[in-house]
A and B are shown apart, each in its own frame.
Chain A
Amino acid sequence: MSKKVQENITTFHKDISFNGKVVGDEKIIIAGHIEGSLKTSQDLTIEKSGTVKADIISSNLILNGTLVGNVNSKGVVTITKSGRMVGDIKSKNIIINAGAQYKGTILTKANSKLNSPQKRSANKNSRLKTKR
């Protein structure tokens, strides 16, 4: 108990299970089991041992464990190779790594920025030219 409370980080360890509603303004790390709903204005990380059955609203989300539920993220959603997820994702940026399991619908705002892919390819070409 002598350890000082780490500021602005909440951790749910392996053997902890929570059933209900979580609301906060700080970084949350989950290695345990959570059911219900999760809302934070900061980043959320679900560890390999973490199992979450909840709708999530957060900034960046990193999923190494299991998640069943919908995600609404203001940052980047990353599902790593050990991540498993069932549910919808609403986010501007999504990374799903090889090996990840995912089932659901993804909603990004890609349609509103039609020009950006063309610009990017143009840059690529110019880079290639300069290399030659």
Chain B
Amino acid sequence: MPQTTIGKSLLLEGELKGKDGLIIAGKIKGSVEVSGALSVEKEAVVKADIKASNVKISGEVKGDISSTGNVHYMENCSVTGNTTTSRILIEDGATIKGSVHINI
């Protein structure tokens, strides 16, 4: 599956939409909506609402996360915002502030 990569030094301000998978290693402000998988890398900073299928967070996110698949919060990640998903996995050491809704 082709993947879009936002590199470390990059700063994006605006609306990002797509069908592909997405890897974020830089900074994003605005909104992110992809139908593929989304990965927020270790040093990434995302100040945006996120919509994706599978979500994996290792960096910092400020915004609501909405997933149609599973959400994976890695250790040392930082999430401020509400999470809506069907499956969730939170690792030891993850920092989370916000409500979690797990739909059945």
Contact = CB atoms under 8 A, between A and B. Distances in A.
Interface of A: 1, 3, 5-26, 28, 32, 36
14 contacts: A5-B41, A7-B7, A8-B8, A10-B6, A13-B4, A14-B2, A17-B17, A18-B17, A19-B17, A20-B12, A22-B12, A23-B11, A23-B13, A24-B11
A13 B18 CA distance: 9
Contacts of A12: 4
Contacts of B9: 8, 24-26
Nearest to B13: A21
Would you call the interface of chain A mostly helix, strand, loop, or mixed? Answer: strand
A116 to B, nearest CB: 36
B56 to A, nearest CB: 6
A11 B2 CA distance: 10
B64 to A, nearest CB: 19
Interface string B17-40: 111111101100010001001010
Contact of B25 (A1, A5, A22, A36): A5
A18 B15 contact: yes
Contacts of A10: 5-7, 10, 26
